[in-house]
Structure 1
Amino acid sequence: MINETLASPTNYPLSSADIDSYHRDGHILLRQVASTEEVKNYRTAINEAVTKYNTETRALSERDTYGKAFLQIMNLWEQDQAVRKFVLAKRFAQIAADLMGCENVRIYHDQALFKEPGGGFTPWHQDQYYWPLDTNKTITLWMPLVEITEEMGIMKFASGSHTEGYIDKLGISDASQNFLEEYIKKNNFPVSTTSFMQAGDATFHSGWTLHGAPGNNSGTMREVMTIIYFADGARALEPDNKNRVADLERWLPGIKPGELAASPLNPLVL
């Protein structure tokens, strides 16, 4: 049964050291943002929604690098009432707002990112390459629904890379992997990861932080749910790549460049 324990915005206080760490590195790992029991309450609903709305039927061998990286099912909150309670949880939104240093946040979209056994690596990339938003106050929560180990494909980050802003226009691809791996080495950004995450642990990273993940070399599905937030008051940008054109239409429907990014698909969650 789904409970309402995630509805409180105040039961995961951050320290000033946490906030300083996020601003310095562009990412942070927070343990037990949701308890194992809380995640268990939602995992079944999320898995059922993933099964229902997944459209990828090709074998791994038939997909390109992006397709091998994960099953990607977006905006489950639109489709499923139980998942909606998870995605619109005030506890998560409060953490996002506190880390970004803003009072109110909106949803950009959610994503289930399930990396199949044998699934490929996730190339280095910047999320905000895809987002036509005029603010640097964007952040992604990345939360496993099961215990995950290093061999399953835990996120890695290039610490401090968010300070460089918009680095490339390649998107998630072999090209982004090659270019950005060299860029990270050239600029001496330390690569940070962890060897284990429990269900309910979460990373938060800036939209400009370079990140990726190894492949899933285990026999277990890497079940992860992500939620993207941005500061209320942000406006839509004129898209400068085809992915931002598509994002403007899908995630900011009816919004024109220069207008407030506040479509019905971008609810104010805090």
Structure 2
Amino acid sequence: MNILFTICGRAGSKGLKNKNLKIFLGFPLPFYTISVIDLFIKKYTKYECDIVLNTDSIELINLFEDKINMNIEIIRRIPELSEDSTPKVNVIRNCYSVVKDRLSKEYDIIVDLDITSPLRTLGDLENLIDKKINSDYDVIYSVTNSRRNPYFNMVMKTENGYERVIKSNFNTRQEAPEIFDMNASLYAYSPRFLNGDRGIFESKCDVIKMKDTAVLDIDSEEDFELMQVIAENLFNKDDRFNCVAKNIDKILNDSCY
């Protein structure tokens, strides 16, 4: 079983400047992603795993090359894949194509881990990969239970005022269909899907559930600060999260933080 782990990050950020390089509770944000991959690779020696960083950020490349004591393939992202409107799945396809040719290797699963989601556990990654191995789904991604429901308590502005996003007669949340938030933390792709040109929602998909307070969209300084408060609480109370943070020291060079 060959697994390719992808880590993708653009230079800069419109919401929060250089968020992919920010220090999160003492370590650069991407190191939490590398750490959980490292924990998986050490535990599952029966799998052959490769890691690739795809970025147009020289600073991010330097950070990985200077500080991370692991074998990581580097892809310098081409301008055509660095636009604001570029779908991330196109970058994943580029990762898969380039590394497959570079290493002359076929992969059974391609797993993407978002840099700005530092609060994931080894168990989350295990659940994702296990479900992908034991299914024929094209894509499996992580979700959390939604705190709002478009059939019940979400509204949008219309020419007649504000109305429910989806028209319904549901009077309680329990009556409405169960809804989930895609939290953009983890994705597992089949080579069959990446070799094509379909979008994620044109494919056969399944999900894994993650802890709903562990992932926030980091688009502002306030988001980043709140995520650190949540992380500190989880690190103190939950060994599943804390072991990812503690493992960072083991994968850094002596010159690191």
Question: Relative contact order (alpha carbons < 8 A, sep ≥ 6): 1 or 2 greater?
Answer: 1
Normalised by the size of structure 1, how large is the TM-score? 0.27
In terms of Rg, which structure is larger?
2
